[in-house]
A and B are shown apart, each in its own frame.
Chain A
Amino acid sequence: MRHTITILVENEFGVLTRIAGLFSARGYNIETLNVAPTLDETVSRLTLVTYGDEKIIEQIKKQLNKLIPVIKVEDISYTVHLERGMLMVKAIDAGDLREKAEQAGANIIDHEAGNYFIAEFAGTPEALDGFLASVDDEYVIESTRTGPVGMRRGSKGFVV
């Protein structure tokens, strides 16, 4: 089962390696991982998507908490929450491809008529999948996407 885990860590060097190393050492999977400092620059926030049964997820949460620079861990999968990721696609500017991308909700952030364009698309992981699927493979030059970032709905915040 897919789990989205949000983590607050001390913003110090090597934290990301500790987290990635924990997953590889114990044979857990990381599907995606996003990390950036928060408004409080001493703290970084991560959103990590992983797969595993309940027992494994429980261990993952405990093992994450055991890492010294980890301040807080929350599995938001079971709460009412929102996830958003971002995608950039560079495609050949042919036919009505660019119009279609715009109609699907993408922003065209660069283009050279008749040559190529770059579309930017943000949304839920499923929406990103859907958008990618809608673009004909043979016109795609390259694409890149982030894993989702996420937070719970409601007025309560996940902060230090």
Chain B
Amino acid sequence: MRNLRRRLVLAVLYLAAFLLQYGFLNNLGWGVFCPQLLLFFPVFAGLLRGRWYGLAHGLFAGLLMDLVIGRFLGLNALVWGAAGFLTGRFTTSLFKENYPIAVISVLLSYTFSSLLYAVLAGLVSGSFFSMTLISRIILGGVVVNCFIAPIIYLPVYRSLSYGWLQPMPKRA
């Protein structure tokens, strides 16, 4: 029952984040200062529940983006899956209650995923992005995503610890 509720909450959160980003925030005309809400799923999943959860959420969130607004099917899934996995891989021994950890994870994951996307999209399409565009997207995204990371991290952390997103205890 708890598992079903957790999945339902996750599905609603994904839908809400998607609509907020691609129906609302993108239309406000903030340009590169538009938050990448879906990226918080793999980053926080990796950070709080480990690399495999980070990978799974990254693949799912990336594929959702690819299917609805993406140019190349599978590229965002690959990039965000890697970002979620690596976040989980390198934060195993860190103290998760610490806000700066969440902010630094978002900063590094966003930078890494943007760079990887730029390189892979360039290789796949045969047309590379300019360094100016890459740096604009990374700088704008880093500023806004790092700013809102703590605001999102607190409820996610609480919910995962003793709220609706709390996972089922592992069987002995």
Q: Is B truly associated with A?
A: no
